Amino acid sequence: MKDTFRHQGKRKQLVEVVKSKGVKDENVLAAINKIPRHLFMDSSFEDHAYQDKAFPIAADQTISQPYTVAFQSELLQVQKGEKVLEIGTGSGYQTAVLCELGAKVFSIERQQELYKKTKLFLAKINYRPKFLSFGDGYKGLPNYAPFDKIIVTAGAPFVPRPLLAQLKVGGRLVIPVGDDPQIMTLFVRKSAKEFEKKEFGEFRFVPLLEDKN
């Protein structure tokens, strides 16, 4: 579990790449600069960990492209101490970014193998989300709702209603919607019944699957 000067130097370069693509949030850039992404990946990919690319991880999932993680995190506008629901824990990289931003993170993963592995791994590198859950992301976590922010890290063919319902008034939901590619979409809850929707261009994600358990 080494994080060397070489890794740190490569992270600095990655931050510059992410910046050049338009991400400006200093807290998000600081999180990308701090988190040892190579530890979240198979060791055979270690040399490529700081390229701005997605890579395969366990259970046919991927670790998202750093730019995508940074873009979604910036859209979310996380404030310290906020309750953030993450749909799709995956490798735990986005989870770690949210922790660095000071969020109280509640995260759901539907692949049991990945859920177990990531839960152990995050604790090992001292990231402590508030709650990690094995389950169906479409349902959210009603027992812990409402949330200040919700982030979906897999492509959704439609916006699951329970997620909108679990958002606080004033809260933000960032979700990639569509088949392939997806459109990055932001919903801001204006009142109990009213949502404002904005779209932010095309991204590619693995699909968010329903009722996998």
Enumerate the active-site residues: 64
**Residue 193 neighbours by CB under 8 Å, 6+ apart:** none
Q: By the 8 A CB rule, do 107 and 97 touch?
A: no
Rounded Cα gap, residues 88 and 115, in angstroms: 9
| Token duo for residue 183 | 């459109």
Rounded Cα gap, residues 22 and 45, in angstroms: 26
| Token duo for residue 104 | 């109280």
Provide φ and ψ at 93, rounded to 5°: -65, -50
